[in-house]
Amino acid sequence: MNDAPARGRETATVTRFSQTARLWAFILLAALAPAGLSAAPFAAYVMDARTGQPIYKQNADTKLHPASLTKMMTLYMAFTAIERGQVRLDSRFPISSNAAAEPPSKLGLRAGQSIELRYLIRAAAIKSANDAATAIGEGLAGSEPAFAQQMTAMARALGMRNTQFRNANGLTQDGHYSTAHDMTILGRRLFYDFPQYYNLFSRREADAGIAKVSSTNKRFLDNYPGADGIKTGYTRAAGFNLTASAQRGRKRLVATVFGGTSTAQRNQVMAQLLDAGFSRVPSRAREVRPEPPQLLAQKVVRRAKVEPTPAATQPKTLVLAASEPPTRAQRASTAAVASAANPRDPLADAVRQAQAAPLSASALRLTSSARPSLRPAARGGAVEQAIASAVETIAPAAQSASLAAPVLAASSRPLPAPRSRAGQASTASVAQAGTDSADAIAAAVAEANTGSLSLLASPAPKPRSDTVILAAMGEGDISNPEALEIVSRPGGSGRNWGVSLGLYRSQVEANKLLLRTALQDGTVLGGAQRHVADTKRGFEANFVNLTRADAQLACERLQARAQTCTVTGP
């Protein structure tokens, strides 16, 4: 009987100990659970997007894991390459095994396939696909490490001083970090530098080529009025991150949150930060757009290292061997060299050679002596031979296929016109002696050698006949000429007509209509003049300086295009 109370007391003691152990375990788990959820440090930054000035910041420059906010820079690099013409939206990027093996979130790309850049951009921006982001980096730079270096260089150019990238998707890696301040700068840059692509961040879903993707930021876009982007991010080391942009009236804010404990908690904190920011910034502010990024090109100078050789360092004495002086070659004649290089007329070359040759004493005496007279036995034959050779020389050139050749061959050659009295005297003496007299020819030649350049005198040519010979291929056209047809233009064909296109509120609107119509109907209205008449009812658009036919044709064409048109006459 005494054992029963003892057993009861032992049972009660064990029960109380068990309950105490359970309570402490629950307290310990409750204490550890918040610590595990808030392992990532919290950071926030709010900026007025119009001016770039900060509104709120907390741990803004603390280097933290950016997670998928990294894809904002990946997309910025892709947009930059498109604008520079390096790639196009329809450029196909090959998928490597490295990109296909990236962990979720992913699009489901397979190694070896190729896909257009536009689909990779949509998957990375909307679904936050890691494989798509890696494929973009490898396609633009050749490898992901090379692309990460380019991303870091671009971050420095944009003013992101505390950011360093190691990959294109944002998965946790040593040396891969950023700050809330830097990511806010990047979000503002996406809005101002690439407004043509910025609407991509507000899409709820999109076609990514191989599948349709939904936005990871859909909850915040749907729940916060005025929100239009930008990017979410999550890893266990980074927590729940978000860079958002929203607009209310003329106000626009960009903010970043690092280290959220959940998607709902992160979105709630972001909404509170934006609400407080909108209440603090003025409605009107001078917009200060960011300057274009200043990319610094690194200049690499490579110096060749060459070890000095003994032959180059030890001086040597150079001795020149004595040699006989070269013999002078006979100088060739300048005229001969020129003639060999550039063939010329043989007669001109002979004259130049004669001028260049030295004159001997006998040659000088011959030049100053009188010309010897011809021998009596050779006078007549020499003249006839000279005339025959001249005829043979001229005959081939004078041959012609024309019908006037026999007439020209039978006519006598006219003598040159007189130039001086001395020439007239010599000509007269030659004419008196006759053509058969060799003494007269010799005297004329001797007079020419004395330095007189006068031409021989000749009698005036006979007056030219006024008779006109008409030739025809056949019997000729002897019919009477056709009567002229007189065409009269109607009285209404003058350029006193015009076209009125109606009344308009402003002169600018009327001028635009006239210019657009003239470009469309240039064939008809090419010679017309545009005129805007200022009337009490409005500005009338007119085409003037047209004929009646052109005005009617132009009006018919305009009425066919449902354009009001009226023909105006003189």
How many Å apart are CA 378 and CA 369, to the nearest integer? 22
User: Residue 298 half-sphere exposure, CB side, CA atoms within 13 Å?
Assistant: 5
List 96, 106, 128, 500, catalytic entry:
128
How many Å apart are CA 558 and CA 498, to the nearest integer? 13
List 68, 96, 178, 215, catalytic entry:
68
Sheet containing 539-546: which strands, arranged edge to edge? 529-534, 539-546, 497-504, 566-568
**What secondary structure letter does DSSP report for 536?**
S
Instruction: Name which of 98, 102, 269, 243 is nearest 172 in CA terms.
Output: 102
In sign, the C-alpha dihedral spanning 364, 365, 371, 372 is: negative
How many Å apart are CA 145 and CA 118, to the nearest integer? 22
To the query of whether residue 68 is one of the catalytic residues in this protein, the response is: yes
How many Å apart are CA 247 and CA 274, to the nearest integer? 10
Phi, psi of 539 (to 5 degrees): -100, 120
Q: Which token pair is 561?
A: 């295009």
- Beta strand 54-58 with 92-94: parallel, antiparallel or unpaired? unpaired
Amino acid at 475: E
Residues 6+ apart with CB under 8 A from 473: none
Question: What is the rounded end-to-end Cα distance, in angstroms, of the chain?
Answer: 141
Cβ atoms of 440 and 433 closer than 8 Å: yes
How many Å apart are CA 136 and CA 121, to the nearest integer? 8
Cβ atoms of 423 and 452 closer than 8 Å: yes
User: Residue 554 half-sphere exposure, CB side, CA atoms within 13 Å?
Assistant: 32
List 71, 106, 127, 251, catalytic entry:
71
**What secondary structure letter does DSSP report for 259?**
E
To the query of whether residue 71 is one of the catalytic residues in this protein, the response is: yes
Question: Taking each helix axis from N to C terminus, what angle separates 70-83 and 130-141, rounded to the nearest 10 degrees?
Answer: 40
How many Å apart are CA 171 and CA 67, to the nearest integer? 6
Tell me the sheet residues that pair with 64: 178
Cβ atoms of 448 and 440 closer than 8 Å: no
Instruction: Name which of 76, 164, 154 is nearest 121 in CA terms.
Output: 76
Cβ atoms of 242 and 222 closer than 8 Å: no
Which residue pairs, CB below 8 angstroms and at least 24 apart, start in 464-467?
Answer: none
Tell me the sheet residues that pair with 206: 213
How many Å apart are CA 217 and CA 211, to the nearest integer? 18
Amino acid at 312: A
To the query of whether residue 251 is one of the catalytic residues in this protein, the response is: no
Rounded CA Rg of the chain: 54
Name the residues annotated as catalytic.
68, 71, 128
